[in-house]
């Protein structure tokens, strides 16, 4: 395997890890804003609670990264993630999310270029390690946005995700 491929695989993994840590921090901030009751409140019958979304993310990361990329048994029961109406405290959800994400990050960081290219079946889909990482990263970000929206609707406040960052800075073209 040439140096460029190895460098690409490492950079790809690093970027996925960066985004996963970012999502974990944002979810933890949201959980800290909500009461135990609000964490399990469903806005309507078609929407999951914040608690359900955290369980769902842990299940998804567990199935895709811990099980498939990490070669662990797949013990996910997806329906239970959405059927739960409570049963976990804020702290338990934070700990579960943090632990699951950090275990996945270790697996991604240790994945060889060969493992990133190897195709396997996950949840009925044929995916490479790269495809698995893309799926988990975007899925994590997607539901993090839902959790942030839910929190903003309840708190009517900026969550400070970009506090101290000037988002109007123009791009450096590198020229």
- Angle at which helices 129-155 and 50-61 pack, to 10 degrees? 170
| Residue 174 in this model has a pLDDT that exceeds 80 | no
Q: Show the tokens assigned to 71.
A: 């070669």
State what percent of residues in the chain have pLDDT above 90: 91
Kindly report the pTM of this predicted structure. 0.94
| Residue 25 in this model has a pLDDT that exceeds 70 | yes
Going from the C-alpha of 60 to that of each of 5, 8, 35, 85, 140, the distances in angstroms are 28, 25, 25, 19, 9
Would you say 128 and 116 are in contact if contact means Cβ atoms under 8 Å apart? yes
Confidence grade of residue 62 (pLDDT, cut at 50, 70, 90): very high
CATH H-level, domain 3-155: superfamily: dinb family like domain (1.20.120.450)
The span from the CA of 172 to the CA of 169, in Å, is 9
**Coil, helix or strand for 121?**
strand
């Amino acid at each position: 395997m040439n140096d460029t491929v190895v460098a690409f695989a490492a950079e790809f993994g690093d970027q996925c890890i960066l985004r996963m840590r970012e999502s974990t921090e944002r979810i933890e901030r949201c959980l800290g804003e909500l009461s135990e009751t609000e964490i399990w409140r469903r806005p309507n019958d078609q929407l999951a609670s914040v608690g359900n979304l955290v369980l769902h993310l842990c299940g998804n990361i567990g199935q895709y990264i811990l099980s498939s990329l990490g070669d662990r048994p797949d013990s996910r029961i997806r329906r239970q993630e959405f059927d739960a109406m409570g049963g976990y405290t804020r702290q338990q959800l934070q700990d579960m999310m943090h632990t699951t994400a950090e275990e996945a990050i270790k697996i991604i960081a240790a994945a060889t270029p060969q493992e990133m290219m190897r195709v396997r079946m996950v949840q009925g889909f044929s995916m490479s390690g790269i495809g698995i990482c893309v799926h988990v990263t975007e899925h994590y970000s997607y539901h993090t946005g839902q959790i942030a929206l839910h929190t903003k609707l309840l708190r009517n406040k900026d969550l400070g995700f970009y506090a101290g960052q000037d988002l109007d800075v123009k791009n450096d073209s590198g020229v």
